[in-house]
Amino acid sequence: MGDEPKCRCGYDKHHPMVSAEPKYDAKGWFWLIMGATPDPVRVVFKCRRCDQVIDESDDPEELKRA
């Protein structure tokens, strides 16, 4: 443990400067265009300071954060 991936600023995915960006498949994009809010298929954790992608996940628990 203690082996969480970090960006070059030293932030892990739980840091406030790191945002969880939802990613959608084609069906999800269709619903987005229709104005609905689909469930993302995966979530990408990205640092807002250095723009580095720290981690990504398709864990349903993580998707709830997106």
Q: Which residues bind Zn ion (CB under 5 A)?
A: 7, 9, 47, 49-50
SS (H, E, C) 21-45: EEECCHHHHHHHHCCCCCCCCEEEE
**Among residues 41 and 53, whose Cβ is nearest to Zn ion?**
53
Supply the minimum distance, in Å, between the C-beta of residue 50 and Zn ion. Answer: 3
At its nearest, how many Å lie between Zn ion and the CB of residue 16? 12
We find the least distance from the C-beta atom of residue 37 to Zn ion, in angstroms, to be: 28
Alpha-carbon dihedral angle through residues 49, 13, 53, 21, given to the nearest 10 degrees: -90
